[in-house]
């Protein structure tokens, strides 16, 4: 039986299972520093362990890409209403908190959150409930929190915290200040990341996670060294959540890694940053301090995170050599397109030379990477598309030797509300079908369109190009991520497009 805690923090499905859900442990660190007793429970991983792999796969498939309960299979709803609710009720009974906080990681977490709230509000009407997380809005940088406001109107929550929650949660619970920015209101960016306490993973039960199958077979903690980005890509809205790029110093980052090793024995870390090498000064300091600690204490640290391509003049071989010696083994790179012209159009901001230098340095120093590619930008020409195919040939050796661990082929680029791309979509495209109202978002951005910039570029052509790259990957033995799921999604959307297109012609007659 656990001791009573003032606060119970819960992470709920849908999240990945290979790493502990980080938000609750980062928030626990702030509350603990404020002398508030707090229990952090990852209900996502508890459900995975309770139902087993086969049922978990059903949950995963049922909640992915779904924000409406009517679209989720009944057997998945039953699992959530029985197994998940029982898990949460057990934790509430053990902890007996005054406050319950739920981390809504994304829109894919909304259904589970709503089901939990409906049950615990009925059973425990006196508990104060607060929700937070990126799932409150449609996108990362959204300033509209319609889901949270709906929960309030239904009486299922007392408060919601928008965007960064570390300071706001402390203000709400420790200082009884519900008027702090972000609490039921528009947030403000945290200016001093070094003013935050280290994450507190003491409630994390390593035995629950299938670590043996991921991340070098060792427990891994997710840390945050910086927030925001040094780029402003036209398809991304990170800058709306974090208008300024903020980073901790390299020494502060390294000391947190050392802290978790010395207190929990964990020496494997993944950084949630938009890019770990956004600040080369902090990157080099982290590498130097961790390398020295490894040498002095005979520790085999491992770390990695998202990464930006830089030329050798910006980040030379010596930086990779030191980083690898300190334990950096993996990165994730938003390549987005193999055409330099397209990357400049997207405002990715790195040249073919930067890409070549970055990938070859990864190869030389034994660092693997996962690359991301987007499809369907309305200024993409056939020549640009062919650059993606040529990329597979040009870097086949990096796939063969494992330097490129995998290629993540996204479905197609969408007009994500809140991005620069969405704000000017009418300059790029025209609507291509008579789309039902419920298939549009608040800005009436079309699901299907054709380009004003490139003749013949419409959804069927985007699908054709996407499939051509997918087939080439299969032929050349390129490892891809969830490729069958992505292609099935696009195939379903193509059927929908063709049906609406046919209905449009009938209507016109």
What's 304-365 look like in SS3? EEEECCCCCCCCCHHHHHHHHHHCEEEEEEEEECCCHHHHHHHCCCCCHHHHHHHHHHHHHC
- The CATH number covering residue 299 comes to 3.80.30.20
Whether residue 195 is contained in a domain is answered as no
3-state secondary structure at position 93: helix
Whether residue 199 is contained in a domain is answered as no
> Are 470 and 322 in a shared domain?
yes
Q: What's the Cα-to-Cα distance from 213 to each of 43, 54, 83, 313, rounded to whole Å? A: 20, 16, 25, 37
> Hey, CA dihedral for 353, 356, 359, 360, is it positive or negative?
negative
Structure tokens at 187: 């947030």
- pLDDT at position 67 is 61
**Share in percent of the chain as helix, strand, coil (round to 5):** 50, 15, 40
- The CATH number covering residue 122 comes to 3.40.50.280
Burial category of 22 from C-beta neighbours within 10 Å (exposed 0-12, middle 13-18, buried 19 and up):
buried
Alpha helices in 127-246 (DSSP H): 146-153, 166-173, 238-241
Dihedral angle, C-alpha 285, 286, 291, 293, nearest 10 °: 100
Q: What's the pTM value of the predicted model, to 2 decimals?
A: 0.92
Residue 76 · residue 59 · CB < 8 Å:
yes
> Are 322 and 456 in a shared domain?
yes
Residue 191 · residue 245 · CB < 8 Å:
no
> Are 145 and 226 in a shared domain?
no
Render 380-443 in DSSP notation, one character per residue: --HHHHHHHHHHHHHTHHHHHTTSEEEEEE-S-----TTSHHHHTHHHHEEE-S---GGGS-TT
* Domain stop point among 188, 208, 231: 188
Closest Cα to residue 9, out of 33, 34, 43? 43
Whether residue 255 is contained in a domain is answered as yes
State the pairing for strand pair 268-271/302-307: parallel
Whether residue 419 is contained in a domain is answered as yes
* Domain stop point among 188, 207, 238: 188
CA–CA dist 115, 123 (Å, integer): 13
> Are 491 and 422 in a shared domain?
yes
CA–CA dist 450, 461 (Å, integer): 9
b (16+ CB within 10 A) / e for 52-89: eeebbeebbebbeebbeeeebeeebbebbeebbbebbe
CA terminus-to-terminus distance, the chain: 71
Whether residue 2 is contained in a domain is answered as no
Q: Which residue range is the domain that position 378 belongs to?
A: 216-508
> Are 183 and 227 in a shared domain?
no
State how many domains the chain has.
2
Residue 39 · residue 2 · CB < 8 Å:
yes
For residue 112, how far is the Cα from the chain centroid?
Answer: 18
CA–CA dist 377, 431 (Å, integer): 15
Whether residue 112 is contained in a domain is answered as yes
> Are 414 and 460 in a shared domain?
yes
State the pairing for strand pair 38-42/7-11: parallel
State the pairing for strand pair 226-227/221-223: unpaired
CA–CA dist 379, 216 (Å, integer): 40
> Are 344 and 451 in a shared domain?
yes
> Are 122 and 265 in a shared domain?
no
> Are 254 and 378 in a shared domain?
yes
3-state secondary structure at position 299: coil
> Are 182 and 246 in a shared domain?
no
| pLDDT values of the chain reduced to their tens digit, one per residue, 509 residues | 345 679 999 999 999 999 999 999 999 999 999 999 999 999 999 999 999 999 999 999 899 866 677 788 999 999 999 999 999 999 999 999 999 999 999 989 999 999 999 999 999 999 999 999 999 987 666 778 899 999 999 999 999 999 999 999 999 999 999 999 999 999 999 999 999 999 999 999 999 999 999 879 999 999 999 999 999 898 888 888 899 999 999 999 999 999 999 999 999 999 999 999 999 999 999 999 999 999 999 999 999 999 999 999 999 999 999 999 999 999 999 999 999 999 999 999 999 999 999 999 999 999 999 999 999 899 999 999 999 999 999 999 999 999 999 999 987 666 677 788 888 888 888 888 765 544 334 455 677 889 999 988 999 999 999 999 999 999 999 999 989 988 998 999 999 899 888 887 654 33
- pLDDT at position 509 is 37
CA–CA dist 342, 407 (Å, integer): 18
Dihedral angle, C-alpha 173, 176, 181, 184, nearest 10 °: 80
> Are 220 and 169 in a shared domain?
no
CA–CA dist 371, 306 (Å, integer): 10
Whether residue 201 is contained in a domain is answered as no
Whether residue 204 is contained in a domain is answered as no
φ/ψ of 162, rounded to 5, equals: -90, 145
> Are 182 and 233 in a shared domain?
no
């Amino acid at each position: 039986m656990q001791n009573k805690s003032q606060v119970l923090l819960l992470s709920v499905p849908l999240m990945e299972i290979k790493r502990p859900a980080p938000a609750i442990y980062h928030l626990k660190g702030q509350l603990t520093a404020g002398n508030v007793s707090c229990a952090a429970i990852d209900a996502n991983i508890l459900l995975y362990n309770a139902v087993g792999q086969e049922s978990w796969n059903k949950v995963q498939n049922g909640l992915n890409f779904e924000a409406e309960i009517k679209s989720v299979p009944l057997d998945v709803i039953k699992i959530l209403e029985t197994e998940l609710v029982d898990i949460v009720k057990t934790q509430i009974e053990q902890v007996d908190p005054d406050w319950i906080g739920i981390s809504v990681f994304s829109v894919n977490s909304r259904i589970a959150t709503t089901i939990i709230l409906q049950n615990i509000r009925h059973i425990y009407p006196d508990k104060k409930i607060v929700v937070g997380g990126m799932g409150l809005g449609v996108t990362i940088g959204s300033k509209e929190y319609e889901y949270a406001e709906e929960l309030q109107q239904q009486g299922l929550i007392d408060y919601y915290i928008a965007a960064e929650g570390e300071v706001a949660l402390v203000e709400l619970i420790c200082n009884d200040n519900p008027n702090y920015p972000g609490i039921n209101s528009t947030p403000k960016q945290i200016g001093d990341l070094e003013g935050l306490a280290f994450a507190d993973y003491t409630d994390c039960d390593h035995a629950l996670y299938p670590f043996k199958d991921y991340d070098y077979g060792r427990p891994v903690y997710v840390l945050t060294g910086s927030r925001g980005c040094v780029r402003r890509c036209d398809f991304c809205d990170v800058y709306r959540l974090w208008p300024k790029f903020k980073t901790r110093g390299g020494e502060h980052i390294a000391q947190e890694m050392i802290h978790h090793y010395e207190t929990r024995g964990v020496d494997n870390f993944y950084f949630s940053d938009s890019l770990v090498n956004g600040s080369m000064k902090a990157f080099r300091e982290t590498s130097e301090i961790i390398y020295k600690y490894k040498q002095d204490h005979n520790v085999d640290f491992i770390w990695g995170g998202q990464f930006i391509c830089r030329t050798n003049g910006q980040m030379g071989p010596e930086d990779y050599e030191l980083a690898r010696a300190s334990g950096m083994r993996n990165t994730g790179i938003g390549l987005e397109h193999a055409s330099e012209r397209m990357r400049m159009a997207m405002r990715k901001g790195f040249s073919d030379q930067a890409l070549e230098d970055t990938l070859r340095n990864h190869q030389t120093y034994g660092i693997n990477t996962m690359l991301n590619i987007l499809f369907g930008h309305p200024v993409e020409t056939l020549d640009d598309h062919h650059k993606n195919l040529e990329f597979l040939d040009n870097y086949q050796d990096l796939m063969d030797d494992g330097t490129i661990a995998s290629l993540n082929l996204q479905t197609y680029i969408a007009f994500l509300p809140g991005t620069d791309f969405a704000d000017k979509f009418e300059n790029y495209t025209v609507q291509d079908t008579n789309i039902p109202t419920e298939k549009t978002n608040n800005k009436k951005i079309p699901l299907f369109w054709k380009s004003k910039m490139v003749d013949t570029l419409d959804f069927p052509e985007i699908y054709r190009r996407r499939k051509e790259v997918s087939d080439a990957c299969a032929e050349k033995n390129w490892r891809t991520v969830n490729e069958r799921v992505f292609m099935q999604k696009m195939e379903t959307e193509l059927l929908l497009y063709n049906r609406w297109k046919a209905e449009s012609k009938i209507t016109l007659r």
